[in-house]
Structure 1
Amino acid sequence: MQVIGLCRFSYPAIGGFQVEHDSLEARIAYLYAEARLEERFQLMERVALPCLRAQTDPDFTLVIVIGDSLPAVHVARLRALTADMPQVQIRALPPGPHRKVMKQVLNDARHDPRAPCLQFRHDDDDAVSVDFVERLRQTAQDCQLLIARNQTLAIDFCKGFTARFQPDGIYAAEVHRPYFVAAMGMYVAGGCGQSIMNFAHHKIARFMPSITIPDAPMFVRTLNASNDSRQKGAKEPELTRLTPEQEGEFEARFAITR
């Protein structure tokens, strides 16, 4: 079964952001600011990509969506960062309605729309466990009777970490976040045109059956200067510095190094 991941890298969508802007030009200026892009590249290189390179099941597609106005120097840097990842497809698109564009991107990525697939979202500042794709595919296999009765099914690995990267080490707290973006996937039946981008992640269980699996940490969500979801003062857990042993566990589980 095809597995498709979607990553937006500073794509100037119309809608889709909690941070509001007065115009599309203001949004592009915000997204392409040099300091912000440098932080996003560092997080992509350190957090978002290593865990995908290390997947125990490497049979997946990752579509990275960028704006067609992203400066050439940054496009070249992104291509260089992903040159060793045959799973990656980079699509440069003009600004458009957020969900409509992303739904089309996912449907375009399906090898055969008549065949079922698994989909997941992957933010450019988050990590998933190195066995995420393997477990996503295995869970779908385990749910065959449920899948046979439904066009869609959410698969939610709801245990993970919130983390911040400081000069003196990684600070983190274990969290339980049902229906979070990271480490949540969705089964889509063959012939079904819906995608994981049809639904707000935290509301997905209103629209389809869902399986939640809390047995092991499966994601790392980073706190950083440009988290879109943190711009409205959301309360975060208290973080403590990882011990050397815990740092080793982070590296083994998420391919994240200090």
Structure 2
Amino acid sequence: MQVIGLCRFSYPAIGGYQVEHETVEERRQYLYNPERLEERFRLFETTTLPGFREQTDEDFELVVLVGECLPQKSMDRLYDLTSGIRQVRIVKRTPARHRPVVKEVLHSARTDPDQPCIQFRHDDDDAVSVDFVERLRLAAIDAKGLTRNSRTVGLDFNSGFLARFGPDGTQALPVFRSLLGVGLGMYIAGGCKHTIMSFTHHKIGRFMPVISYPDAPMWVRTLNNFNDSPHARASKTELSPLTPEQEGEFIARFAIEQDRVRRAHSAG
């Protein structure tokens, strides 16, 4: 079964963000602010990509959606960072309405629309565990009873970490969050036109059955200066430095190495 992920990397869509702007140019100026882009790249390199590079099931595709207007220096950097990960494919689009664009990109990624697939969404500053794709496939098998009557089924891994990354390493807090977006997948039947982006992630349970898995930590949601969610930016959540055991867990579960995090976030 085909597994497709969609990651928007500072794509200047019209709509689709909680932080609103009146014009595409205002959205572009916000997203392409050098300070914001630098933070995004550091998190993408040290937090997001390691887990996808080390997936135990290598049969998946991560589509990274960018604007054609992304500054060339940033575009080159993005290609350099992802060049060694064959599952990553960068797709360029002009700024447009969010929902039609992401729908078109995901439909285009399906090799056989008449066959079922699994889709997931991913933010460019978050991480998933190295067995995320493998677990999605197993979850789709669990969902077989539901798929007889439902063309879509949510697959929600609700255990993970909230975390901040910086020059001193990682501060984190283990949490349970349902339908957070990160760690959330969706089974889609053959011939079905819905995508993982057809539904607001925290409302997906209103439209389909959802299977939840609370067993192992499956994701890291980053709290940083430019989170799209105002709640995340203003979060007063008390995080603690990783213990030695948690440092080992971050390597084993997410391929996130603290020395690399410290170096990246200390640079320039």
User: How far, CA to CA, are the matches of 2:151 and 2:236 in structure 1?
Assistant: 35
User: How far, CA to CA, are the matches of 2:16 and 2:164 in structure 1?
Assistant: 24
Give the letter aligned to residue 176 of structure 2.
H
Give the letter aligned to residue 246 of structure 1.
Q
Q: TM-score, normalised by structure 2?
A: 0.93
Q: CA deviation at 1:233?
A: 6.3
1:201 aligned partner: 201
Checking the alignment, whether the CA contact within 8 Å between 1:19 and 1:231 is kept in structure 2 is no
**Would you say how many aligned residue pairs link Structure 1 and Structure 2?**
258
1:138 aligned partner: 138
2:227 aligned partner: 227
User: How far, CA to CA, are the matches of 1:40 and 1:232 in structure 2?
Assistant: 15
2:186 aligned partner: 186
Checking the alignment, whether the CA contact within 8 Å between 2:224 and 2:232 is kept in structure 1 is no
2:47 aligned partner: 47
Deviations 1:69-116 (A, max 9, x none): 011111111111111111111111011111221111111100000010
Q: TM-score, normalised by structure 1?
A: 0.97
Deviations 1:151-201 (A, max 9, x none): 000000001000011322211001111001111100000000100100000
Give the letter aligned to residue 96 of structure 2.
G
Helix, strand or coil for the counterpart of 2:15? coil
User: How far, CA to CA, are the matches of 1:26 and 1:11 in structure 2?
Assistant: 13
Cα distance 1:30–1:231, how it changes in 2: closer, same or farther (>3 A)?
farther
For structure 1, the 5+ residue unaligned runs are none
1:11 aligned partner: 11
User: How far, CA to CA, are the matches of 2:161 and 2:79 in structure 1?
Assistant: 29
Cα distance 1:16–1:128, how it changes in 2: closer, same or farther (>3 A)?
same
Q: CA deviation at 1:230?
A: 2.8
Helix, strand or coil for the counterpart of 1:228? coil
For structure 2, the 5+ residue unaligned runs are 259-268
Helix, strand or coil for the counterpart of 2:5? strand
Q: How does 1:39-118 map to 2 (within 5 A)?
A: 39-118=39-118
Helix, strand or coil for the counterpart of 1:64? strand
Q: CA deviation at 1:234?
A: 5.2
Helix, strand or coil for the counterpart of 1:90? strand
Q: CA deviation at 1:12?
A: 0.2
